Structure 1
Amino acid sequence: MGSPIYIQIHNEIKKAIEAGKWTVGDRIPAERELAEQFNVSRMTLRQAIQTLVDEGILERRVGSGTFVANQKVQEKMSGVTSFTDLMLAQGKTPSSKTISYHAGQPSMSESEKLQLKDGELVLRMERIRYANDVPICFETATVPERLVKDFSKAEVTSSLYGTLEKKAGLIPGKATQTVSAMLASEKIAEYLDIKRGEAILRLRQVSYLQDGQPFEYVRTQYVGERFEFYLNR
């Protein structure tokens, strides 16, 4: 099963950055130029760039272009809590709408974060998460396919953590998390019922099972005025 074209382009751009073709602060070529270079449509190229932006590898600057991102200061947050459990603890009713759900080849970033072996597939799903029917965040989650292949789509999308724990005896442990600010793209603004360019919070998280095995790499974009993070020191 081959990787989608946008994942292949994602990998090529990431390799170029790691090889030093572009360094921190450098502006990468315009989308039109890169689309011609890779011989793909602007839409496909834009999808690859957006994936790199979501991962914090690139950053968009309004009116200036797309640049190799600076490494952000990271702050440790304690514990791993699923969105479902978090909303229930606040007395709110969690729900979600699945935008996409499919198995396929991982990107380089997904393979690295999940410590995958050669040839392993992943399940990649995009969801809008709600609290009391109000959209709170847009989430792209990637999970090793072997962990969820025996479960239904409904079981995985309704509560991944709950399904892994109750059906497979896999208990979530720690997580590494990075939070940064960004502006909502047109796509995200539409999903979350906000204005394009509105401030949002981006969380990138790798979640581990109690035995230390990574089981989830998630990129989540939260509506800033509807959600806040707090730290336990």
Structure 2
Amino acid sequence: MNLKIDHKSPVPLHIQAENLLRELIKQPEYIEGKMLPNEIELAKRLAISRSTLRLAINKLVYEELLIRKKGIGTKVASTKFSSKSKNWLSFSQEMKNRGIEVKNFELHVSWVVPDKAITKFFAVDEDQKLLKLERLRGKKDDPFVYFTSYFHPRIGLTGDEDFKRPLYEILETDYHVVADLSQEEIDAVAANKFIADKLEINIGDPILSRKRFVFDQSGKPIEYNLGFYRAESFTYTVESRRDY
């Protein structure tokens, strides 16, 4: 794409730069999260000052079309993923329905004694070890969610399962446990160092925290799940119908 500013035009330079950036980020090579050229290079190509360029970039950052990362640069915002509270789906199902291939950037399995809130949810002894599954997930080169799951020991998971497969497929196909009901708690929180490092954001950046309690068809708890999503990558939609 030919990036050129008309310095004789009555249209302010920052508006011209903004319009050019809007067209640039629509190009195939920039769609879905590619980094823009650095500000010095881009300002030279447009023959404008960096302060003028920043006005244009800031407008698109405000509109959530661009994402600026300290010490890294500015990139095109990926399309936000939306989750609805009605007829809940697993993460893999949500992504599959959008034609997006899920990538596991990290996958860790361990046996741990969890905190009291988790043992209380499962109604097991406080010193009971539970299977803990941690996964950093996203698409292509874009990790945007970190999951931690704990499972009730009666399911029979060993830790040797192929957790690259969809989780609820494993439970249903291999262990005849059907995830039927999900209860969720949603919070907007600031990223701590651990989550910030995983999601490649700054400490203190806003993230979506989702706590999910999963039950089988008989109402017995099977999974306690914590999910931390990059705010610019995920939207949670609530659908309600009025009772008359």
The question of a shared fold, defined as TM-score above 0.5 by the shorter chain, is answered with yes
Q: 63, 77, 81: which is aligned to 2:85?
A: 77
Identity %: 22
- Segments of 4+ moved more than 6 angstroms: none
Q: Is the 8 A contact 2:156 2:175 kept in 1?
A: no
1:193 maps onto 2:200 in alignment: yes
Kindly indicate which of the two structures has a greater share of residues assigned to helix.
1
Count of equivalent residues: 157
Secondary structure at the aligned position of 1:229 is classed as: strand
For residue 150 of structure 1, report the CA deviation from its aligned partner: 4.6
For residue 133 of structure 1, report the CA deviation from its aligned partner: 3.7
Q: 115, 121, 137: which is aligned to 1:113?
A: 121
Partner of residue 139, structure 1: 147
- Give unmatched runs, 5+ long, in structure 1: 1-75
Secondary structure at the aligned position of 1:126 is classed as: strand
Q: Is the 8 A contact 2:155 2:177 kept in 1?
A: no
| RMSD of equivalent CA atoms | 2.1
1:212 maps onto 2:219 in alignment: yes
Q: Is the 8 A contact 2:131 2:159 kept in 1?
A: no
Partner of residue 13, structure 1: none
Q: Is the 8 A contact 1:80 1:207 kept in 2?
A: no
Q: Is the 8 A contact 1:139 1:221 kept in 2?
A: yes
Letter in 2 for 1:161: Y
Letter in 1 for 2:169: G
For residue 84 of structure 1, report the CA deviation from its aligned partner: 0.6
Q: 161, 164, 177: which is aligned to 2:184?
A: 177
Q: Is the 8 A contact 1:96 1:158 kept in 2?
A: no
* Greater Cα radius of gyration, structure 1 or 2: 2
Partner of residue 101, structure 1: 109
1:158 maps onto 2:165 in alignment: yes
C-alpha distance in 2 between matches for 1:148 and 1:89: 29
C-alpha distance in 2 between matches for 1:198 and 1:137: 14
Partner of residue 6, structure 1: none
For residue 77 of structure 1, report the CA deviation from its aligned partner: 2.6
TM-score (norm 1): 0.61
Letter in 2 for 1:126: E
- Give unmatched runs, 5+ long, in structure 2: 1-83
C-alpha distance in 1 between matches for 2:126 and 2:190: 35
Structure 2 matches for 1:56-75, cutoff 5 A? none
